[in-house]
Each structure stands twice: as C-alpha cells, then as structure tokens.
Amino acid sequence: MVLSVIVLSILSLLQFILIFYLANIYLKIKKEKEEIEEEYVSITDILPGDNVRYASYLNYLKKDNFTAYIEAKVIEVSDKSVKVDPYDVSHCDNLPSELRSKPNYKQEIMDISRNNWINKEKVELLLSKEEIRQRRIEKILGK
C-alpha cells in the first residue's frame, strides 16, 4: 500500500513536470508564430506606390459580361480599400469579340477602372524579391 502511494506520487510529479515542460514549448512556438505573422504582415502590407493585380468584372453594352485582370499602381490606401491607377490589362476572360476587335480595348478597360476604390481583399500585391528584401531591411532599421 505504501509502495503504491509512493509510485503514484512519483508519477504525479513526473506528470506535473511534463505538463510544465509542454506548456513552455507551447509558449515558445506561439511567440515564434506571432513573430512570423508580424513579418508577413509588414511585408505584405499594401502601401501607396505598390503594384497590385485584381479582377474586374465588367459588362459590355449591357449584354456581355467578362472579367479583366488589371495591374495597377496604388494611389491611396484606407482601412478596407485601395485607390488604384491601372497601367496594364494582363488578360481577359470571355472578352466580347466586338470589344477585342478595337485596337485600344485595353485602354478603354483601364479608363473604366481609373481612380476606383477596390476592396483590399480583392487585390493581390505584386512584389519582386528585391522589394521583399527592401521591406525586410526597412523593418529591421525601424523605418
């Protein structure tokens, strides 16, 4: 009886030590995760002057719907949206043939989208490796 109490006490002590050890490991992993998330947010935060890509769902002559994928430079940024100035139409899905036959159809699409506010969730930030490196350097230097 005494022996079983001693064994159970030792096992309880080992269990407490193991729980404490696992809790410390959990806290370290959580801290590392938060640091990685902060770095990701600082790198992928959309700023004025950045280049973005987004899908614009358009209607031609009130009968043909199509999607244009537009690349643009960010002019202004708010909490939930960005104001853009398009510089290229990368491609279009289901582009009407009468619109495609126009020599400047890309410019017409960009004119429609000029100075529009686009939801941040709908834009994709275009970053080169050099821009990612520069943002990391700025973060380290505290800029």
Per-residue pLDDT of 96-116, as tens digits, reads 777 777 888 888 888 888 888
Hey, where are the domains in the chain? 1-44, 51-141
pLDDT at 124 exceeding the cut of 80: yes
Q: 81: which DSSP letter?
A: E
Helices (H), the chain: 2-44, 97-100, 105-113, 129-141
96: left (phi over 0), alpha (psi -120 to 50) or beta: beta
Residue 11 CA to residue 7 CA, distance in Å, equals: 6
- Contact of 56 with 28, CB cutoff 8 Å: no
Q: What is the pLDDT of residues 12-69, one digit of tens each?
A: 999 999 999 999 999 999 999 988 887 776 666 788 888 888 888 777 766 777 888 8
Instruction: Taking the CA atoms of 57, 73, 43 and 41 in sequence, report the sign of the dihedral they define.
Output: negative
pLDDT at 90 exceeding the cut of 70: yes
Instruction: Taking the CA atoms of 115, 120, 126 and 127 in sequence, report the sign of the dihedral they define.
Output: positive
